[in-house]
Amino acid sequence: MPRIHTTATIDFCSGYGALLFDCDGTLADTMGLHYEAWRETVEPLGLVFPHARYTSMAGTPTRKILETLGREQGIAVDVDTLLPEKERRFVERMHAVKPIPVVVELLAAAHGRVPVAVVSGGIRRAVVRTLEHTGLLRYFDVIVTAEDTERGKPHPDPFLAAARRLAVEAPRCLVFEDGDPGIEAGLAAGMDVVDVRPMIGG
């Protein structure tokens, strides 16, 4: 039975065949910057996106968030137009992105000892830019983003895709996540999950 952990050490991690990391809010302190970009994008349309609602959808693919907000509030949303606008606004804030030390320390310690992947609900361009900016891109063997699976978190598909690409069985993978949809996805994939929020004070 997959389990949720609230702390991890490199010795604990070494018992697994692969480590799968969410990006935003797990490796990089980006959640506030993403929220600013979201508000600038959706509020002119009359869409309301409270912060509590935003945090509850952490890890959900950008496209699905836009579709969900429009459907729930009865407002027509041109997702294909808004998606690049939202990502552009986030990239404009990239200079303010910082790595999250406690998680990055584990990542760095695991490098070369166990395969690692990023599994994000974000757009590939933004995820890669975030990893480049924080100096973390070099650590990863595989990157899975919103474009790589038809269904994103909370479905298990992104984590299962990463496991396949790393050639590691799902039960031997350990997921690091900061959002409920991502935790749900990891457990549904049959993987143990570390909820990093207690580790980072979230």
Residues serving a catalytic function are 22
Q: How far apart are CA 130 and CA 99, in angstroms?
A: 9
**Which backbone phi and psi does 85 adopt, to 5 degrees?**
-65, -45
With CA atoms as reference, report the closest residue to 195 among 34, 25, 33: 25
Q: Which residue has the tokens 């990891």?
A: 186
Query: What is the side-by-side order of every strand in the sheet holding 116-119?
Result: 4-5, 192-195, 173-177, 18-21, 116-119, 142-144
Burial (CB count <10 Å: 0-12, 13-18, 19+), residue 9? exposed
With CA atoms as reference, report the closest residue to 159 among 114, 198, 121, 127: 121
